[in-house]
Chains A and B, each alone.
Chain A
Amino acid sequence: MLDDLKNIKNHRFNRRKFIKNVIASGAVISSGGYMLSGCSDNSAPISGSVERLIVLKVNGKDRPVDVMQNETLAMTLRYKLGLTGTKLACDRGECGACTVLLSGTPHNSCSTLTHSVRNRDITTIEGLEQEDGTLHPVQQAMIDELGPQCGFCTPGQIMSGVALLNKNPKPTREEARQALSGNLCRCGAYDHYLNSIMRASRIS
Chain B
Amino acid sequence: MTKDMMPNFALFQPTTVDDAISLLSKYEEKSWKLSGGQDSYDWFKDRAKKPEVIIDLNDIDELKGITEFENEIVIGASTTLSELEGNRIINDNFSLLSDAASRVASPQIRNAASIGGNLCQDARCWYYRAGLDCYRAGGNTCYADTPEGMNREHCLFGASRCVAVSPSDCAAAIVALDATIVITGPGGEREVKAEDFFIGPDINIERMTVVEQDEILTSIKLSKKWAGAEFYFEKVADRNTWDFALVNVACAKIIEDNIFKDLRIVLGGVSCVPMRLNACEDIARESPKDDETISLASSIASRGATPLNYNHFKIPLMENLVKRALRT
Contact = CB atoms under 8 A, between A and B. Distances in A.
B9 A88 contact: no
B171 interface: no
A48 B26 CA distance: 12
Given A45-B10, A69-B10, A181-B240, A38 B41 contact: no
Given A49-B12, A96-B108, A111-B112, A91 B3 contact: yes
B126 interface: no
Nearest to B13: A50
Contacts of A196: none
Contacts of A94: 242
Contact of B37 (A105, A113, A160): A113
Given A41-B8, A50-B11, A107 B58 contact: no
Contact of A115 (B2, B3, B11): B11
Given A92-B45, A93-B108, A70 B11 contact: yes
Contacts of B10: 45-46, 49, 69
Contacts of A68: 8
Contacts of B240: 181
A36 B4 CA distance: 9
Contacts of A48: 12
A29 B2 contact: yes
Contacts of B105: 93, 182
B87 interface: no
Given A93-B41, A105-B82, A75 B5 contact: yes
B131 to A, nearest CB: 14
Nearest to A74: B4
Interface residues of B, number: 35
Nearest to A94: B242
Contacts of A96: 106, 108
Contact of B56 (A74, A75, A115): A115
A72 B38 contact: no
Contacts of B115: none
B104 to A, nearest CB: 11
Interface in B1-56: 1-13, 34, 37-38, 41-42, 44-45, 53-54, 56
Contact of A70 (B7, B58, B109): B7
B11 A110 contact: no
A69 B9 contact: yes
A137 to B, nearest CB: 20
B241 interface: yes
Contacts of B53: 46, 49
A39 interface: yes
Interface in A94-126: 94, 96, 99, 102, 105-108, 110-113, 115-116
B108 A108 contact: yes
Most chain B CB within a 10 A radius of its CB, from A75, A96, A113: A113
B316 interface: no
Given A49-B10, A70-B5, A106 B108 contact: yes
B149 interface: no
A111 B56 contact: no
B11 A91 contact: no
Contacts of B37: 111-113, 116
Contacts of A108: 108-109, 112
Contacts of B242: 94, 182
Given A105-B82, A115-B56, A116-B13, A72 B111 contact: no
A46 to B, nearest CB: 4
Nearest to A108: B108
B241 A181 contact: yes
Nearest to B34: A113
Nearest to A70: B6
Interface string A18-53: 000000000001100011101101010110111000
Contacts of B107: 106, 160, 178-179, 181-182
19 contacts: A29-B2, A30-B1, A35-B2, A39-B2, A39-B7, A41-B8, A45-B10, A46-B53, A49-B12, A75-B5, A91-B45, A92-B42, A93-B41, A93-B108, A105-B111, A111-B112, A179-B107, A181-B107, A181-B240
Interface of A: 29-30, 34-36, 38-39, 41, 43, 45-46, 48-50, 68-72, 74-75, 88, 91-94, 96, 99, 102, 105-108, 110-113, 115-116, 160, 178-179, 181-182
Q: Which 9 A-B pairs have the closest CB atoms?
A: A182-B106, A69-B11, A49-B10, A46-B10, A39-B5, A181-B241, A182-B108, A182-B107, A70-B6
